[in-house]
Amino acid sequence: MASITPPDYSVFVSAATAFADLVALIPATSWDGPGLGDWDLRSLVGHTSRSLITVSSYLRIPAEREDVTGPAHYYALLRGYAAGSPDIVERGREAGRVLGADPSAKVTELLHQVFTDLDGAGDPLIAVIGGLGIQLSNYLPTRVFELTVHSLDIARATGIDFAPPEQALEAATVLAAHIAALTGQAAALLTALTGRGALPAGFSVV
């Protein structure tokens, strides 16, 4: 694995590695089975793999200005776009098809590629979805969030015993709370987390 230079991207490395290790455990008979929502398992894994692909891709697209000031701000700006978007559903399916006959080998290839791309990258201002400018150090926590949440989705769909790396799980949970605070949902979340009420059906911070 390539060495990651400062800033410290070790949490991303751990989340990405755990995802690849999880994919390696998926039985060959499971790939056409249920995944999440409109995705079969292959599409769910394909969508999750895009958290590796986009880092490599966006590192090649410099931004001229900073439009997004942090990971929670990223999700707040995109809120309502991602949920159930036909474009995102189809991109997940296409990414699943790209995994080919040996999805685990493909994910491992993507993992090695993103580590190579991050090696010595520093903290550039990159252009992400919609051309929004964001520091790499603010974008990677969103990928930790995606990798961790969807790895749990994959484990749930397959019945594989999986525990995300503790730092990644903590980072994803804290980010979820920050998103809730930024999008006016903090009171509902805090009430539920302290046992004082239940969240509405379908509640999501993203």
| pLDDT (tens digit per residue) in 133-151 | 999 999 999 999 999 999 9
Q: Taking 90 as the threshold, does the pLDDT of residue 42 lie above it?
A: yes
Residue 79 lies inside a defined structural domain of this protein: no
- pLDDT tier at 82, thresholds 50, 70, 90: low
**Residue 164 is assigned to a structural domain of this protein:** yes
Residue 129 lies in a domain: no
Residue 42 lies in a domain: yes
Residue 198 lies in a domain: no
Cβ burial of 154 (10 Å; 0-12, 13-18, 19+) is: buried
List the domain range (segments joined by +) for residue 47.
Answer: 9-62+88-123+135-174
Number of domains in the chain: 1
Radius of gyration of the chain (CA): 17
Q: Residue 72 domain-assigned?
A: no
CB 35 within 8 A of CB 89: no
**How sure is the predictor about 87, in pLDDT bands with cuts at 50, 70 and 90?**
confident
Give the Cα separation of 164 and 149 in Å (integer): 9
Q: Is the CB of residue 178 less than 8 Å from the CB of residue 69?
A: no
CATH number for position 145: 1.20.120
